[in-house]
């Protein structure tokens, strides 16, 4: 299980001159970052922000939003790492605020066959 907490203090600012992000706290978990291709990615997102991609609109604060994503069979394969190439996958949690501030967190995944 991978638990995460994203807040203004955990961010790396790309543009130091930009306005500071709004106050927020985004908690969640992924059941695992090592997933079998035939099983869905599971977890939850507990949010204190107003608009998020998997919960469009005015999301109630503190609500745990379940994550259940089936990997598309035609667009995914097992993770591969060889001497001259590798195939990797990741989950990106992206939050866009009303004032167009964008916050994202990246979680690398390892996909395996059964």
pTM for the full model? Answer: 0.60
φ and ψ at 26, to 5 degrees?
-120, 115
3-state secondary structure of 76: coil
Angle at 48 between CA 44 and CA 50, to 5 degrees: 105
Pairing of strands 34-36, 102-112: parallel
pLDDT tens digits, one per residue of 2-24: 898 888 887 776 666 667 777 88
pLDDT in the model for residue 31 = 92
Spell out the per-residue pLDDT of the chain, length 114, in tens. 889 888 888 777 666 666 777 788 888 899 988 888 888 888 887 774 333 356 667 778 888 888 777 777 766 778 888 888 888 888 777 777 777 777 778 888 888 886
3-state secondary structure of 66: strand
Q: Domains in the chain and their CATH numbers?
A: 2-8+22-112 (2.60.40.640)
């Amino acid at each position: 299980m991978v638990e995460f907490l994203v807040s203004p203090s955990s961010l790396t600012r790309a543009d130091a001159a930009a306005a500071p992000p709004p106050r927020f706290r985004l908690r969640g978990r992924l059941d695992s970052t090592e997933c079998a291709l035939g099983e869905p990615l599971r977890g939850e997102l507990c949010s204190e922000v107003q608009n998020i991609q998997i919960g469009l609109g005015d999301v109630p604060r503190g609500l745990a939003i379940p994550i259940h994503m089936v990997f598309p069979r035609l667009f995914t394969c097992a993770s591969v790492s060889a001497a001259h190439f590798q195939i990797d996958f990741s989950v990106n949690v992206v939050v866009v605020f009303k004032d167009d501030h964008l916050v994202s967190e990246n979680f690398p995944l390892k996909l395996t066959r059964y």
